[in-house]
Structures are given as C-alpha cells and as structure tokens.
Amino acid sequence: MDKRKVYLSPVFGRKIKKLKKQEKKELDDAVLDIINDPSIGEVKVGDLTGVLVYKSKTNKNLTLLSYSYDSTEINLLSFGSHENFYRDLKKYKRA
C-alpha cells in the first residue's frame, strides 16, 4: 500500500466536531476504507467531475462521504445524509 497524505476540507473538519463518539468511530472506519482503497467510491460526473462518493452506514443511516485523490494525497471534502448532499457539495466545489 502506498502512503498518501490525507487532508480534511474546512467543511469536513467543522462537521466532525458535531458528531457523537460512536458516529465519529463509524466515520473513522469509512475513512480507513477509503485510505486502504481510494478507488472504492463511486465516480461522479458533470459538475462533480473528479469527486468520488463512498456510501457507509452511520448510526444505521446511510452516510455519503465525498473525496478526491491522486497518487500523493486524499482530500476528504464532505459527508452527510443524502438530503441536499450533492447540492451543498456542488456549492463547495465551486467556491
């Protein structure tokens, strides 16, 4: 396994602070899945070209985790439930 640096977007960092301990652990597990195999996510097209979305369960709810990666780094962009997820992600990516 090659070593990539992992970066959190400001949005990702703010959202982590709001999580309960169990939710944070489940998110950490999902992030580890991505670190171990960055191609695991679903590749997006159109406005979100270059973004992958990994789906996992957090607190028995579906959580989407968006990220991008290349040979040297993984950028964790955002996470959350499906509601307004893609709209907010497009807004963030444009900024």
Structural domain harbouring 54: 5-94
Taking only the tens place, the pLDDT of each residue in 5-28 is 999 999 999 999 999 999 999 999
Domain holding 35: CATH number? 3.30.2310.20
Task: Please tell me the predicted confidence (pLDDT) of residue 2.
Answer: 61
Helix, strand, coil percentages for the chain (3-state, nearest 5): 40, 30, 25
Q: Which residues contact residue 4 at a Cβ distance below 8 angstroms, ignoring those fewer than 6 apart?
A: 35, 38, 69, 71, 72, 73, 74
Given a cut of 90, is residue 3 above it in pLDDT?
no
Given a cut of 60, is residue 80 above it in pLDDT?
yes
> What is the total count of domains within the chain?
1
Reported as a pLDDT band with limits 50, 70 and 90, residue 62 is very high
Overall pTM > 0.75? yes
